[in-house]
A and B are shown apart, each in its own frame.
Chain A
Amino acid sequence: MMEERSSIASSAEYQSFRSTVPKRRVDVDYMGKEYTWKIFDYGPKTTPAPVLFFPPVTGTADVYFQQLISLTGEGYRCISMDYPVTWSIDEFVGVTLTFLQQFGLNKVHIVGASLGAFLAQKLAELTKEYRLVQSLTLINGFTDTAAFKSAPSALVVQFLPGFMLKRMLMQNFPQGRLHTDVANSIDFIVEQLETLTQPELASRLNLNIKPSYVDPRPILDQHIPVMIVEVQDKCAISSNVRLEMLKYYPDARIAHLKHGGNFPYLAVSSEVDMFIKIHLRQFYGTPASPTSDSELNDMFKKQASGAATAEASDSEQTASHAASPPAHKQRQERAPADAKPVKSRGMFDSDDDDDDDNEDDETF
């Protein structure tokens, strides 16, 4: 389509990512209907709890490629996805559970941005009995679709042609002076937006604006650690919406970024990677570890079991490098992409169990 590609799309990192990691189609049968996911499944399959990446309305699985590269370098398994076409939260949750069951996954961490952050919360809220969601990283997220009050009605969106939907979305992008990296992230997103079909876009927009909100209680009851990633510069999320989110999760870790715009995982990716690693480190060495790196897991297990031993070994190490601060090693361990999948444990035998839990979702 577009001959001239954005600087991110033509970067060596992206090119090499796309040539090493295939985008797979996964068909899921749910309630007699077929749904298609397009995913990058990257990193060792033996990882206890992979990280799922939920994109924003305008994004594809590709928008997280930098996180995938960075986190798999630390032994993570990451699954970034293009959503299947669904028309309600219940349908989305049902299809997602079927998808995860098909992959034999019963513990996941989720990183979600804007709509992705909303859906991540809904999934955590509605799967309380499975203890599916171990942690949430919410980037420029919201808790109530009322955040988008000036949007057209969900009903209208379904019937608008693709080009109009795209135009509607692009109107949200900031104008005025922008950091170069923020501008580049928008260019990339615009390209990605071009690849989405009308039903895909209409479905996402519909989920984004159809009246629905998160009930935080089931999430808090499960003690799911939440990290809220916030940018200090302009983004589509208003400050009221941000404050609302902070109220929902009083114990959340707040990761402030000086700038990053709507798509910080593209604009200031290495900072976002770092925050995700810091947030997920609390799971290293536990049955919900996002990494299969046994050295890392052991180190944290030791730390948890006794501080005294850590003290001794730590001060020793410091003595040796303090005078000449350490060179920063770039870890390049890539696990083979074809490691054996974990066996399904049949966690989600009844796919639509979450139905009795929904006090939120409006049906048209």
Chain B
Amino acid sequence: MATRKKVLLKVIILGDSGVGKTSLMNQYVNRKFSNQYKATIGADFLTKEVTVDDRLVTMQIWDTAGQERFQSLGVAFYRGADCCVLVFDVTVPRSFESLEAWRDEFLIQASPRDPEHFPFVVLGNKVDLKDNRAITENRAKSWCDEKGNIPYFETSAKEATKVETAFLTIARAALQQEKDEDIYHDFKDAVNLDDVPDKKQDGCGC
């Protein structure tokens, strides 16, 4: 039960369509970037094993689509999330203004036990497009501070700027959240059938 338990961190990426959610995930997991835009249909996930503070963890990163038709994945999609990443495009003001709505959407759907302290991370993506920049770093930061000191990173999925650093922060925040949840579940949501230590496996299957 204690420390050697395998850890799965569920991370959900939200944000307007076209801000680069899939690209960020692909850059982080596969170290690949494609200029060709392809709308994500529904949701998809990638997994990556990473070491966070000497702990091997599996990150399951979920990428969502803007299209309403596929939001039917519903509650299961959000259930058990350990960290929510909000992404906007620094060249598109509207995508920044949507952050609030995405954050609310997440809190409603995932209904975390402790919404005040649930970890979010904000990424301002496409910083490589310097000439078209519309949202300043300060403006983004002050929004993040207002919402309870959300960590903020300026990324470029295209040039792999700060992607690794951002995801390390995401993983740390998720790991902390997962630990808290786990302790909670140990007390709350468990049925004690019989306190026998793990019996031999490989019996005859089931």
CA distance A107 to B3 in the complex (A): 45
Which of A175, A205, A314, A330 sits near B72, CB closer than 8 Å? A330
* Chain B 36-95 residues near chain A, CB threshold 8 A: 36-39, 41-45, 47, 58, 60, 65-69, 71-77, 79-80, 94-95
Q: Please determine whether B72 and A329 come into contact, CB atoms closer than 8 angstroms.
A: yes
CA distance A326 to B71 in the complex (A): 8
Q: Please determine whether B195 and A176 come into contact, CB atoms closer than 8 angstroms.
A: yes
Q: Please determine whether A173 and B204 come into contact, CB atoms closer than 8 angstroms.
A: no
Chain A 135-151 interface 0/1 with B at a Cβ cutoff of 8 Å (1 = within): 00000001000011111
Return the chain A residue nearest B181 by Cβ: A258
Chain A 240-270 interface 0/1 with B at a Cβ cutoff of 8 Å (1 = within): 0100000000000011111000100000001
Q: Please classify how large the interface on chain A is, using the bins under 10, 10 to 19, 20 to 34, 35 or more.
A: 35 or more
Beyond A175-B196, A328-B74, is A150–B203 a contact (Cβ under 8 Å)?
Answer: yes
Which of B38, B191, B198 sits near A183, CB closer than 8 Å? B191
Q: Please determine whether A315 and B17 come into contact, CB atoms closer than 8 angstroms.
A: yes
Q: Please determine whether B189 and A254 come into contact, CB atoms closer than 8 angstroms.
A: no
Return the chain A residue nearest B199 by Cβ: A175
Beyond A281-B42, A328-B74, is A173–B17 a contact (Cβ under 8 Å)?
Answer: no
Q: Please determine whether B18 and A205 come into contact, CB atoms closer than 8 angstroms.
A: no
Q: Please determine whether A317 and B66 come into contact, CB atoms closer than 8 angstroms.
A: yes
Q: Please determine whether A238 and B47 come into contact, CB atoms closer than 8 angstroms.
A: no
Return the chain A residue nearest B37 by Cβ: A311
Q: Please determine whether A278 and B43 come into contact, CB atoms closer than 8 angstroms.
A: yes
* Chain B 1-52 residues near chain A, CB threshold 8 A: 1, 5-8, 10, 16-18, 36-39, 41-45, 47
Chain A 314-325 interface 0/1 with B at a Cβ cutoff of 8 Å (1 = within): 110111011111
Q: Please determine whether B205 and A256 come into contact, CB atoms closer than 8 angstroms.
A: no
Answer whether residue B109 sits at the interface, using C-beta atoms and an 8 A cutoff: yes
Contacts of A180 in B (CB 8 A): 189-191
- How many chain-B residues does the 8 Å CB contact rule pick out? 64
CA distance A74 to B42 in the complex (A): 13
* Chain B 178-206 residues near chain A, CB threshold 8 A: 185-186, 189-206
CA distance A56 to B193 in the complex (A): 23
Q: Please determine whether B196 and A176 come into contact, CB atoms closer than 8 angstroms.
A: yes
CA distance A115 to B197 in the complex (A): 26
Contacts of A174 in B (CB 8 A): 193
Chain A 58-89 interface 0/1 with B at a Cβ cutoff of 8 Å (1 = within): 10000000000000001000000000000000
Minimum C-beta distance from B11 to chain A (A): 12
CA distance A315 to B201 in the complex (A): 51
* Chain B 135-173 residues near chain A, CB threshold 8 A: none
Q: Please determine whether A232 and B6 come into contact, CB atoms closer than 8 angstroms.
A: yes
Interface segment, one of B98-106, B110-118, B123-131: B98-106
Q: Which 7 A-B pairs have the closest CB atoms?
A: A325-B105, A151-B204, A318-B66, A318-B17, A270-B76, A314-B39, A177-B190
Q: Give B residues with C-beta under 8 Å from A.
A: 1, 5-8, 10, 16-18, 36-39, 41-45, 47, 58, 60, 65-69, 71-77, 79-80, 94-95, 97-98, 101-102, 104-105, 109, 185-186, 189-206
